[in-house]
Structure 1
Amino acid sequence: MSTEDIDEAIDWQGNAVDCAACAHRDRLAEEKCKPLRACVHDRYARRIDRFFDWNPDLARDYVAHDYFEVRACAAKAAEIFLLPAMLDDPEEAVRWSAARRLPRRYILRLRADAHREVRIRIAGRLEGADLLPMMQDEDYAVRQAVARKLSPDLLVLMINDPDPGVRRIVASRIEHAALMRLAKDSDPIVRLEAAKRLDSVDLKALIKDADWRIRYEIAQRANVEIIGPLVADEDPLVRECARDRFRDAGKEPPTNVIVAQTRSDP
């Protein structure tokens, strides 16, 4: 349900909004506010946000309002010199709303913000060396955000991250020179992500991988001369793919292949 579908005008304390008692009632006639649509006293953030879109000159008067949604929306329109003080706001939504408009030098301290969502968003704004301290963040989602932003040449520093989701992102972006290290990762999803980016000639090293998805990737992409053992693979999809590759190349699949034992540890 959208805010426009809610047929009530209630303030953040649960009281009915009274336009007659509002200090900005003159703006109602100017159509710069509208009940149920744009109102600074409404509890719903979208209506508050729209009020400041229509009345940015009033935002400075609400950066210290008791209701955090009002402060967060005011931070989007208030003069920028008012925003640094809002980085100390007790509500994460307000801190982020202020941070998104401030220059880099102001937001570096939010790399250690108490709230993960703030740290994730800060990681999305930073670049290069500014991200390095965040590689050790206690929250995996923050480290994932860092892995998405770091330049590929720096991702080697995150190869041993304890979270496989982080290492998967690293595998999808890291420079090719370090990719083989992730192709030997303990997690099959990480190995698969690495395998998808390896050159076809390098896939031979993974032909005995324990995970059928990785062997299937090899059967699809490796040179036909390499995939002979896969025509007798224990997985039917891998076998079929390997045999189709031989047929497409106009060659007969080898018939004297023994099913290779897959490695349980990469």
Structure 2
Amino acid sequence: MMMTNDVVEAFEALDWQAQPIDCASCPHFVMSTIGKCEAQHACVFDRYALRIDRFFRWNADLAKEYLKHPYFEVRAIAAKYVEVFYLPQLVADEDETVRWSAAQRLTLTQLRLLCQDPDREVRIRVATRLPENELKSMIHDADYYVRTIVARRIPIGLLPLMIHDADREVRAEVAKRIALSGLRQMASDPEVQVRLVVVRRLPAAQLSMFLRDADWRVRYEVAQRIDERQLQALLMDEDEAVREIAQARQRIAVPISAKKLIQCGAPL
């Protein structure tokens, strides 16, 4: 018998068309006698995906025979177990679940054919697997999350092409990685989420452009990092939290400055 730690589920054994499964008439009946399949547990004709998966796990050599099965779950799961040279026939499968499953294992040559797939989940898988230097073709993908993945992986030198992306999540990812020259171009981004990333990455000496930012969260970040000599503009900020951090930093900075003067012999 095939050894497994899986538990036999109580769900009725029905096929993908909700018809009872008759093991006696199954073409794999002999296999059940030697533990290669099992009713309500490991069956390629069951509609329950876990049972289909167990069948192919036990009989991976049979997966190639089911790549054209009418039930999409069978095709999708078979794609996990077949040799990779069988996968190209699934690139044009009518079901996105099948194409997604194939995309996880396709060679790069075949994977490129799915860059324009109509389903976002398939394109997400493609953007995750494609080499970084091939992602330029996906920077204008219709789906924001595909573009987010591209922004996380694309070579830094190509990120300026994405600084005006329509989605703030994408632009925030761009701001996390882009070179400082490009980062300064994002200082006027309309979304606070993006400007916060910019403020946290820019050198303290370049933060003065944010002293009058419209959002208190940005000014608060500035107050924590900007040079003490430029804190004056924030000491009377309209937001209490910004004022407090600016004033606290000034109180710390003044005694330090006074101590330096004493050490230099200058009168106070």
> Aligning the two structures, in what range does the TM-score lie when normalised by the shorter sequence?
0.7 to 0.9
Matched, 1:108 2:112: yes
1:17–1:225 distance in 2 versus 1, CA, 3 Å: farther
Cα pair 2:210 2:218 within 8 Å, conserved:
yes
Code of the residue aligned with 2:183 in structure 1: it is L
Q: Distance in 1 between matches of 2:190 and 2:34?
A: 65
User: SS at 2:138's partner residue?
Assistant: helix
Report the count of equivalent residues.
250
Question: In structure 1, what is the equivalent of residue 202 of structure 2?
Answer: 198
Which piece of structure 1 moves more, 62-71 or 111-120?
111-120
Larger radius of gyration: 2
- Checking the alignment, whether the CA contact within 8 Å between 1:183 and 1:192 is kept in structure 2 is no
- In angstroms, what is the RMSD of aligned CA positions? 2.0
Structure 2: gaps (5+ residues): 1-6, 257-268
**1:9 and 1:246, CA in 2 relative to 1: closer, same or farther beyond 3 A?**
farther
- Counterparts of 1:207 and 1:119, CA distance in 2: 41
Alpha-carbon separation, structure 2, partners of 1:34 and 1:196:
58
1:202/1:11 Cα in 2 relative to 1: closer, same or farther (>3 Å)? same
The match for 1:143 among 135, 143, 147 is 147
Distance (Å, rounded) in 1 between the aligned partners of 2:43 and 2:18: 15
Give yes or no for contact 1:11–1:17 (8 Å, CA) kept in 2.
yes
2:9/2:40 contact within 8 Å kept: no
Check conservation: 1:108, 1:130, Cα contact below 8 A: no
* CA shift digits 1:138-195 (9 cap, x unpaired): 2222212211221222111111112222111111121222111112112221111211
If asked which structure has higher relative contact order (CA below 8 Å, sep 6+), I would say 1
Contact preservation (8 Å) 2:148, 2:169: yes
Contact 1:32 1:51 in 2 (8 A): yes
In the other structure, the counterpart of 2:266 is: none
Residue in structure 1 matching 2:213, options 209, 212, 224:
209
TM-score (norm 2): 0.86
1:224 aligns with 2:228: yes
The answer as to 2:89 corresponding to 1:46 is: no
Q: What secondary structure, in the 3-state scheme, does the structure 2 residue paired with 1:17 have?
A: coil
User: Per the alignment, do residues 204 and 15 of structure 1 end up closer, same or farther by CA in structure 2, a change over 3 Å counting?
Assistant: same
Aligned to 2:96: 92
Local SS of the residue matching 1:232 = coil
* 1:112–1:186 CA distance, 2 compared to 1 (3 A): same
Tell me which of 25, 41, 54 is aligned to 1:21.
25
User: How far has the Cα of 1:5 moved from its partner?
Assistant: 6.2
- Percent identical among aligned pairs is 48
2:80 is aligned to 76
TM-score (norm 1): 0.87
For structure 1, which runs of at least 5 residues remain unmatched after alignment?
Answer: 253-266
Relative to 1, partners in 2 of residues 1:25 and 1:243: Cα closer, same or farther, differing over 3 Å? farther
Distance 1:54 1:175 in 2: 51
